[in-house]
Amino acid sequence: MNKASFASILLFVVSFALRAPAQEQAQPMSPQAMPMRTGVAMGHEHNMSAAVPITFDELETTASKLEKARRATEKYRDVLAAEADGYKAIGPDVPGMGIHYVASHSDGFDVEHPDILLYEKNASSPRGYDLVGVSYLLNAESDSDAQPKNPPFPKSLASWHRHSDLCVFPDRSVKSQLSEDQCKVQGGQFTALTQWMIHAWIWKDSPAGVFSPKNPNVH
C-alpha cells in the first residue's frame, strides 16, 4: 500500500471511529484472564451454542504475539519516541479510546509495528501521556461470519470491525449517510468500505477484554 492510500484509509477509519464509533461487538477476556473451560465466551453473555472453540495453541500463540507487541512498543511509552518515528496525533481525546497517534505508512499487518498507538493523558507522567494500547488495520476479504478471513488473532478472542459508505470532509468531519455522488458534490472524500480495525489494550488492562473496542479504564 502506498503512503497516500494508507493515509486516506486511516483518515476515514480514525475520523469516523472518533466521532461515530461502530456498534461494539461482544468481546471475550484476554488470554491471560480467560478461564480454561470450553463453551464460554467471557466478557459478554452468549448463547452456549454460539461460542467459537479455542485451542491451547491459539491461546499461547496469541499471548506470544501480544508480548511481542509490548516489547516492540516499549520505547513508545515516551510519546516523543513515537513522534520521532513518524506517529502523529489525529482527532480528539475520546473516553475509552484515548488519543490516536497514527503511523505515517503501513506495509500490512505486523504485530510489532502497529498502525496506531493509543495514549491517555496523565499529568503525572513525564511527557503528560501514557501509552495504553495499540490498534491494527487489516486488509482482508470478509468471511461467512462477517469477520476477516484468516485473521492474525483467533476469532474466538478477537472481533474486528470496519465502516462503510463514509464521507470525510476537509475539516475531518464525517458523514455516513451520503451516496458517493452526494459526498463529492459537498466536497468530501468517499470510501465504500474501510479496512478491518481492532484495538489491543496491552499497556492498560481493559475489564472488557484485551481486544475490546473501548477500554472503560481509559478516561
- 179 within domain boundaries: yes
Percent of the chain with pLDDT over 90: 59
For 30-41, b/e burial (b = at least 16 CB within 10 A) is: bbeebeeeeeeb
- 120 within domain boundaries: yes
- 211 within domain boundaries: no
Q: Which pLDDT tens digit goes with each residue over 42-90?
A: 333 333 335 678 999 999 999 999 999 999 999 999 999 999 999 998 8
Mean pLDDT of the chain: 81
Give residue 9's pLDDT.
47
- pTM of the predicted structure, to 2 decimals: 0.74
Q: Which pLDDT tens digit goes with each residue over 4-40?
A: 444 444 554 454 444 444 444 434 444 344 332 233 3
- 215 within domain boundaries: no
Which residue in this structure is represented by grid cell 507522567? 125
- 116 within domain boundaries: yes
CA distance 108 to 126: 32
The DSSP call for residue 156 is: T
> What residue numbers bound the domain in which 16 lies?
3-200
Give residue 18's pLDDT.
45
Measured CA to CA in angstroms, residue 83 lies from 71, 93, 136, 218 at distances of 18, 17, 18, 21
- 216 within domain boundaries: no
- 218 within domain boundaries: no
Give residue 40's pLDDT.
30
Q: Which pLDDT tens digit goes with each residue over 84-131?
A: 999 998 877 889 999 999 898 888 999 999 999 999 999 999 899 999
The DSSP call for residue 21 is: P
Q: What total number of domains does the chain contain?
A: 1
Give the residue with greater pLDDT, 30 vs 205: 205
Give residue 24's pLDDT.
41
- 207 within domain boundaries: no
Q: Nearest-CA neighbor of 21 among 197, 191, 193, 180?
A: 197
